[in-house]
Structure 1
Amino acid sequence: MFRFLRGLVLPEAACEEANNSSRYENLFKKLDLNEDGRVDIAELHVGLKALGIPLGRDAEEKIFKTGDSNKDGQLDFEEFMQYLKDHEKKMKLAFKSLDKNNDGKIEASEIVQSLKILGINISEHQAEKILQSIDADGTMSVDWNEWRDHFLFNPATDIEEIIRYWKHSTVLDIGDSLTIPDEFTEEEKKSGQWWRQLLSGAVAGAVSRTGTAPLDRLKVMMQVHSSKSNKMNISSGLKQMVKEGGIRSLWRGNGVNVIKIAPETAIKFWAYEQYKKLFANEDGKIGTVERFVSGSLAGATAQTSIYPMEVLKTRLAVGKTGQYYGMFDCAKKILKREGLKAFYKGYVPNILGIIPYAGIDLAVYEALKTTWLDCYASDSANPGIFVLLGCGTVSSTCGQLASYPLALIRTRMQAQALLEGAPQLNMIGLFQRIIANEGILGLYRGIGPNFMKVLPAVSISYVVYEKMKQNLGIA
């Protein structure tokens, strides 16, 4: 689309200053839809969309906030031209920071080198894909004119924000919040985009978890009750739950599962920022390993803070009809009968599960995305949302496979007190008992419904997340 814009609105000319004025004037006329000599935010939105450059409300508001010097809610031609001149100066600095050999062109090796300095490792082939998305003349290098035209309306102000533009991520909530938290630029934090994005993810997670709650409860029931002597499959498990408590019982424990999203997300985000500062070097940069360690520690911090709610969710899911009258009644009965320690049963295997889950999830996701870019991408560095969703689904599934035995041990430890006559074993004791009585497969009880919920959970999460972003103006 930027090649189209370049040919239609931004023609090259010999005289730089005259050419700039001509480009600005042509572009202003295309955006000034009612031809009154001023462009308001509605005209900017419609005009840029017509030119194939949909920015989203946040980016458009950022342009107005910066360019509208007299604060009248409109840009006249002088304000419009001044904004573009100032923005071009910032883009010139970003261009020079990437142009390591000062030859007036950016090449793939220079992108690899620059991103490595910022702690992001990509292959030269991936860098070539980035170049192809900017390169208008097919030379596999980007000169200043191509760079300027491509980023003319991108409100990024420095190279780190441009790199975020190149990075594409998606929020996938499958009921297990063990992944690396989102990262936000200083500008996104100041503008409030960070909380809108986190809110979008939280709402998407709530809807997603509610939609797949019957499968989640079935997984917990199979983890706790299924064995060689008590064979519970998906069909018999669902029938048993409906027979015992009716259709509504399929959602038992979902309320706690939804309520804990907000505090867990907020704590994880805050902790991630603190750990990144702790591991950053003198320049404030952080590498891939440090980023992973920070994310894992943030996940552990968040899980520690909200873990009692995990125990409540399991007890409610496994409990019988009438045993508890809600989350607070459940908490009161656990405290009275078992004491405070009961709210952290299964904590150790839960924390141990974060490392294999997050590590494998991240590694497989990056490997799949890189492979797709290397083998199938033709003219863009952006794999596209369906490829990213596929990579995320597979990587999350692999992460679950690695951490599932620990998740099962955690759930059994949380529910042991409800099983009459069952010994109260620790993590090692439970492992030994399951292996002795059921074999290795016993560590994967309930994994069927767990896998069944991945695809619908990812799909629901994505759709709701995108709708929320549109409603909050960050699409």
Structure 2
Amino acid sequence: MQQQHPKDRRSFDYVWRSMVAGGTAGCVAKTSIAPFDRVKILFQASNPEFKKYAGSWTGVFKALRPIYNENGVRGLLQGHSATLARIFPYAAIKWAAYEQVRHFYAPSESQVTPLSGFLSGSTAGLISVLCTYPLELIRVRTAFKTRHKGRVRLGDVMRDIYHEGQPPPPKSATTAKYSRKLLNKVSVLKFYRGFSMTMVGIIPYAGTSFLIFEQASKSQHIRTLFTSKGASDLFCGGMAGAIGQTAAYPFEVIRRRMQVGGLLHPDRFVNFNETCSLIYKQSGYRGFFVGLTIGYLKVIPMNAISFATYNFTKRLLLKDN
């Protein structure tokens, strides 16, 4: 990435330009893989109508056919408006936070280490998820719905989440009792279903992705393979996405199942232990990697485009500064 003087990086001008570049990169990258993203959610959440397609490369494309036949292009992009509403602030915050946190952990380039790179990425990921998680839950719920024709309205999705069942009564734990009581009183917390697993999963995913990209970008061997910075960013970003996805994927599957738990079991709250037990009972350890094939099809190009677009857009925005 193009490096700036530390004073410039801390300035408001640098921060907002980083946010614009990050938000733009996120929207471009997500739009490029939107149909795959929808199918991946259906696979991960074990949608009954699409379980038969999961588990193979060809299943990915076979799953696209009934979606298209049912609702055309609109069906392939179902939930994408919610995706864009979430991804711009998410990516903007993530990239701006990364720039700032990276400087905090390593004020100068000579102090940059693999550990500081991992910590910078994971911290930025945690900050961005904390700020935008309700939008992510709404996006997943919108993409999961397949049972009726026509548009899925965001207002209806939000209303369903708000009115879903409460957690089952705890057996003894005081903390659990307090958590249930809090959820009963503050229904907005239902928009944070699966949040704990998201926080756990984002650490290896974001940390590994940023670490691999930084290290690969510095590799002299990779630099000699590509004549342009854009091509190098695409390659390094794709590699970072593949490794990061593999490291964090089981957490993502658990998170998806918890996020749609209210749809499959609207009368109650499906917790972490129950979700893990159900996944293992249905598919064994392979169940924690269901959809990984389509995950690669999605994440490799998405990360490649995201890193390349961010660096390109940031260079344009900062070239006169």
TM-score, normalised on structure 2?
0.73
Identify the structure with bigger relative contact order (alpha carbons < 8 Å, sequence gap 6+): 2
Match for residue 13 of structure 2 among 172, 185, 192: 192
Q: Specify the alignment match of 1:236 in structure 2.
A: 62
Match for residue 219 of structure 1 among 35, 40, 45: 40
SS at match of 1:252: coil
Q: Is 410-419 or 326-335 further displaced after alignment? A: 326-335
Structure 1 CA distance, aligned partners of 2:141 and 2:129? 17
Segments of 4+ moved more than 6 angstroms: 276-281
Structure 2 CA distance, aligned partners of 1:291 and 1:363? 5
Q: Specify the alignment match of 2:198 in structure 1.
A: 350
Shift of 1:401: 0.7
Shift of 1:270: 6.2
Shift in CA distance, 437/202, structure 1 to aligned 2, threshold 3 Å:
same
Q: Deviations over 1:113-149 (max 9, x none)?
A: xxxxxxxxxxxxxxxxxxxxxxxxxxxxxxxxxxxxx
The number of residue pairs the alignment matches comes to 289
2:183 is the alignment partner of 1:335: no
Match for residue 231 of structure 2 among 386, 397, 411: 386
State the AA in 1 paired with 2:286: L
Note if contact 2:241-2:304 (Cα within 8 Å) is conserved in structure 1. no
CA-atom RMSD in angstroms? 3.8
Shift of 1:328: 3.1
SS at match of 2:261: helix
Note if contact 2:27-2:84 (Cα within 8 Å) is conserved in structure 1. yes
Percent identity over the alignment is: 29
Q: Specify the alignment match of 1:365 in structure 2.
A: 213
Q: Specify the alignment match of 1:252 in structure 2.
A: 78
Shift of 1:318: 0.6
Note if contact 1:197-1:469 (Cα within 8 Å) is conserved in structure 2. yes
SS at match of 1:453: helix
Shift in CA distance, 434/244, structure 1 to aligned 2, threshold 3 Å:
same
Q: Specify the alignment match of 1:261 in structure 2.
A: 87
2:281 is the alignment partner of 1:436: yes
Shift in CA distance, 184/328, structure 1 to aligned 2, threshold 3 Å:
farther
Shift in CA distance, 237/424, structure 1 to aligned 2, threshold 3 Å:
farther
State the AA in 1 paired with 2:297: M
2:282 is the alignment partner of 1:411: no
Shift of 1:312: 0.1
Shift in CA distance, 278/384, structure 1 to aligned 2, threshold 3 Å:
closer
Shift of 1:472: 4.2
Structure 2 CA distance, aligned partners of 1:189 and 1:278? 10
Note if contact 1:216-1:453 (Cα within 8 Å) is conserved in structure 2. yes
Where does 1:89-108 land on structure 2 (aligned, <5 Å)? none
SS at match of 1:337: coil
Match for residue 316 of structure 1 among 119, 122, 142: 142
Q: Deviations over 1:377-419 (max 9, x none)?
A: 67x9x99442342122112101101111111111111111212
Structure 2 CA distance, aligned partners of 1:294 and 1:468? 21
Shift in CA distance, 435/415, structure 1 to aligned 2, threshold 3 Å:
same
Shift of 1:442: 1.3
Note if contact 2:240-2:303 (Cα within 8 Å) is conserved in structure 1. no
Q: Specify the alignment match of 1:304 in structure 2.
A: 130
Shift in CA distance, 369/219, structure 1 to aligned 2, threshold 3 Å:
same
Note if contact 1:197-1:474 (Cα within 8 Å) is conserved in structure 2. no
2:22 is the alignment partner of 1:204: no
Structure 2 CA distance, aligned partners of 1:271 and 1:467? 18
Where does 1:267-286 land on structure 2 (aligned, <5 Å)? 267-268=93-94
Shift in CA distance, 225/347, structure 1 to aligned 2, threshold 3 Å:
same
Note if contact 1:276-1:290 (Cα within 8 Å) is conserved in structure 2. yes
Structure 2 CA distance, aligned partners of 1:468 and 1:270? 13
Structure 2 CA distance, aligned partners of 1:368 and 1:294? 16
Q: Specify the alignment match of 1:48 in structure 2.
A: none
Where does 1:41-80 land on structure 2 (aligned, <5 Å)? none
State the AA in 2 paired with 1:333: D
Note if contact 1:223-1:411 (Cα within 8 Å) is conserved in structure 2. yes
Structure 2 CA distance, aligned partners of 1:287 and 1:257? 33
Structure 1 CA distance, aligned partners of 2:201 and 2:13? 33
Q: Specify the alignment match of 2:290 in structure 1.
A: 445
Shift of 1:355: 1.8
Q: Specify the alignment match of 1:175 in structure 2.
A: none
TM-score, normalised on structure 1?
0.52
Shift in CA distance, 295/390, structure 1 to aligned 2, threshold 3 Å:
closer
Q: Specify the alignment match of 2:168 in structure 1.
A: none
Shift in CA distance, 273/255, structure 1 to aligned 2, threshold 3 Å:
same
State the AA in 2 paired with 1:335: Y
Shift in CA distance, 430/263, structure 1 to aligned 2, threshold 3 Å:
same
**Unpaired segments of 5 or more residues in structure 1?**
1-167, 170-181
Shift of 1:455: 4.7
Shift in CA distance, 459/365, structure 1 to aligned 2, threshold 3 Å:
closer
State the AA in 2 paired with 1:224: A
